[in-house]
Every structure is written in structure tokens, then in C-alpha cells.
């Protein structure tokens, strides 16, 4: 997969490309709905004998258009590109999104990016797709523009996962995660939810005092961390192996009235130094809500049960 971050580089990089089938969007999470769209792109490109392409942005457009209510992200740009690379796309264009881009008309965006850069022969989007200034661009406008500019438009319906009440969307995934429902989030994503961050020094209470050392993972503030609770999951060390883990998210109410919200992972059957490394934490299931215990001894007794529950959950 080739990544283009500079639209000015398009003419040279795509000089030999016969045309593309393109999809556009924030693609936050690269969930099952996104992958269904990319599947349609791939099939259509095969029919036309052209390349596949996806246009996304270097930040969520809402952070510029309505920063006061912008959602937390499911993936940063680096993780999003990793997930997109797994789909077999030929090209991904990462457009810098700022106030100038937010004011751009949908007609100008289509002319510059879809036609000028990617020489689109077909455009694939969701039925409810909107873009451009004041979200004026939609499927109907794309079809009118395509008639003059030489591309057709395919609108794809929302994906529904059997047994779930609402279609797949980044919003539905965020809502599930905020409830701590990582199981539903995983079903909507098509994989366990993952957060990343460096391991920082905490208050060093877990090992010496409680007997359960934890990695304090500093997740970037723009990334969504699931709601408070105790979870079973996996701790990935860089590009290396993943270790089973019992994961705590919360404010440690047994010790603090109002402490900072932390993500701490206890690696099962592991003994080593994790400080400073980049961690990847994947959530498999929620074990229980966060609780305040009357003593450290009572907490340790529960932590022992949590470790065994995590071990059982990850075996199943």
C-alpha cells in the first residue's frame, strides 16, 4: 500500500495508474462497516481494471469543525494506516484537515482530490456520507459531479452484526466502549479494541505492596479508553509477543479519594522491566466493575480472583 500525504505529489506518483476506485471518510477504527466498503471498492476496481484508493484525513474533521464536541478517537493515524494496509488497498491519501479545508466546497474537493489526484473512475461511499463545507456534499451531489467528471458512484448501506441492536458505526463502538462493553465493541470492530502508549512509572504500589506489579500505560488523551472496570486482555510488547493480562482502568478508589484515571496492566506469568517501552493493550472481556475495598488485604484477595478470571477468559 502506497501512502500519499502531499497532494502535490499525486501527478508524479500516479503517473502510470490507469485510474482508481475511491472511497472517502475518517475511517476511525477501520471497523467492519469500513471493511465492507473497502470490499466493494476492491470488487469494482477488479471489474474496471484499475487501482483501489482511499482518502482519509490526518485528524478527525470534528476536531476542527466542532472541537468542543469532537469524539475521542478509536485509532490514531499510524494505527489506522496499519489496519488499512491489511485490506490490500493500493493507495491511501492522507489529507491535511484544517480550517481552510473545512471551508472548501465539495465541488472543489472532488476536483482536486478525487479527479485531480486519483483520476477516479468510480466512487464508493456509505448511504449517509457527507463532506465539504457545511456537510453540503452527499451521494446525490457526487452523482451529479460524476456525470460531468467521468466517474460513477456506488452508495453502500450500513452493516448489521447479527444479534446486535444497531448497525456498525464508529459512534456505536465508542458508546459501547464508554460503557465498558468491550465485547460488543469487538464484535462491531471485527477484532479486539486496542490502545497504545508508553509505560510510565506509577506509584510503585502494585508489586511491593500488593504483589501484583502493573504496567502503567499512558494512552494519548485523544484516544478513547474504555469505561472503568477490570478486564481480561492481551499486552503486546512492541512488535514482539503478546502476554495475557488482567487490566484495570479507573482511579484506584481503595487508596485515593480522587486520583488520576489510569490504565494498568498486570501481565500473567511475566517477570521483567517494562518501563519506557511502547505497549499495545487489547481488550477481550470485562470481568467486573471497579470497586473500593475496605483494606489492601481485601483488594489483594479480589485481585487474585481477577487474575484467575482473566486467565480463564483468555483460554476460552
Distance between CA atoms of residues 311 and 152, nearest Å: 51
Q: Is residue 264 annotated as a catalytic residue, yes or no?
A: yes
What pLDDT does residue 225 have? 98
Per-residue pLDDT at 293? 84
Query: CATH fold of 2-156, please?
Result: Rossmann fold (3.40.50)
The series of mean pLDDT values per 10 residues for the chain, 316 residues long, is: 93 91 97 97 98 96 93 96 97 96 95 96 95 91 97 96 94 97 98 96 61 91 97 89 94 75 93 90 96 86 93 91
What pairs with residue 84 in β-bridges?
A: none
The residue extents of the domains of the chain are 2-156, 193-315
Per-residue burial over 78-106, b = 16 or more CB atoms within 10 Å of its CB, e = otherwise? ebbbebbeebebbbbbbbebeeebeebeb
Measure the CA–CA gap between 142 and 153, rounded to whole angstroms.
7
Write the CB contacts of 197 (distance below 8 Å, at least 6 apart in sequence).
Answer: 217, 218, 219, 220, 223, 263, 278, 279
Which position has the grid cell 502535490?
A: 8
Q: Which residue has the cell 448511504?
A: 127
On whether the CB atoms of residues 212 and 266 are closer than 8 A, the answer is yes
List the catalytic residue out of 12, 104, 264, 294: 264
156 burial (CB, 10 Å; 0-12 / 13-18 / 19+) is middle
- What pLDDT score was predicted for residue 251? 84
CB 310 within 8 A of CB 287: yes
Contact 314, 234 (CB under 8 A): yes
Helices marked H in 150-253 = 170-178, 182-189
Q: Nearest to residue 23, comparing CAs of 103, 112, 121, 167?
A: 121
- What is the CATH topology of the domain spanning 193-315? Elongation Factor Tu (Ef-tu); domain 3 (2.40.30)
For residue 279, list its beta bridge partners. Answer: 197, 237
Residue 280, beta-bridge partner list: 196, 236
Query: What pLDDT score does 208 carry?
Result: 54
Instruction: Sort 188 into a burial class: Cβ within 10 Å, 0-12 / 13-18 / 19+.
Output: buried
Amino acid at each position: 500500500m502506497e501512502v500519499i500525504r502531499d497532494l502535490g505529489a499525486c501527478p508524479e506518483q500516479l503517473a502510470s495508474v490507469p485510474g482508481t476506485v475511491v472511497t472517502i471518510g475518517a475511517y476511525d477504527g477501520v471497523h467492519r462497516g469500513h471493511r465492507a466498503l473497502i470490499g466493494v471498492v476492491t470488487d469494482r476496481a477488479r471489474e474496471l481494471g484499475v487501482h483501489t484508493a482511499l482518502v482519509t484525513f490526518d485528524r478527525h474533521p470534528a476536531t476542527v469543525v466542532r472541537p468542543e464536541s469532537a469524539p475521542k478517537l478509536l485509532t490514531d493515524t499510524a494505527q489506522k494506516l496499519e489496519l488499512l494496509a491489511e485490506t490490500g488497498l493500493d493507495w491511501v491519501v492522507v489529507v491535511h484537515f484544517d480550517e481552510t479545508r473545512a471551508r472548501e466546497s465539495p465541488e472543489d474537493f472532488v476536483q482536486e482530490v478525487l479527479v485531480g489526484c486519483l483520476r477516479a473512475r468510480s466512487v464508493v461511499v456509505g448511504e449517509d456520507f457527507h463532506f465539504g463545507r457545511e456537510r453540503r456534499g452527499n451521494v446525490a451531489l457526487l452523482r451529479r459531479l460524476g456525470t460531468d467528471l467521468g466517474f460513477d458512484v456506488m452508495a453502500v448501506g450500513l452493516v448489521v452484526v447479527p444479534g446486535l441492536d444497531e448497525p456498525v458505526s464508529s459512534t456505536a463502538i465508542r458508546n459501547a466502549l464508554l460503557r465498558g462493553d468491550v465485547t460488543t465493541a469487538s464484535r462491531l470492530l471485527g477484532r479486539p479494541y486496542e490502545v497504545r502508549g508508553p509505560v510510565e512509572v506509577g506509584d510503585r504500589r502494585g508489586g511491593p505492596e500488593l504483589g501484583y506489579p502493573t504496567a502503567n500505560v499512558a494512552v494519548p488523551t485523544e484516544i478513547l479508553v474504555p469505561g472503568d472496570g477490570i478486564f481480561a486482555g492481551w499486552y503486546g510488547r512492541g512488535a514482539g509477543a503478546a502476554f495475557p493480562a488482567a487490566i484495570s482502568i479507573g482511579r484506584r478508589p481503595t487508596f485515593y479519594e480522587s486520583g488520576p484515571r489510569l490504565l494498568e496492566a498486570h501481565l500473567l506469568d511475566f517477570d521483567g522491566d517494562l518501563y519506557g517501552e511502547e505497549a499495545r493493550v487489547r481488550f477481550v472481556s470485562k470481568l467486573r466493575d471497579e470497586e473500593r475495598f475496605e483494606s489492601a488485604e481485601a483488594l489483594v484477595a479480589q485481585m487474585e480472583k481477577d487474575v484467575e478470571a482473566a486467565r480463564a477468559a483468555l483460554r476460552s
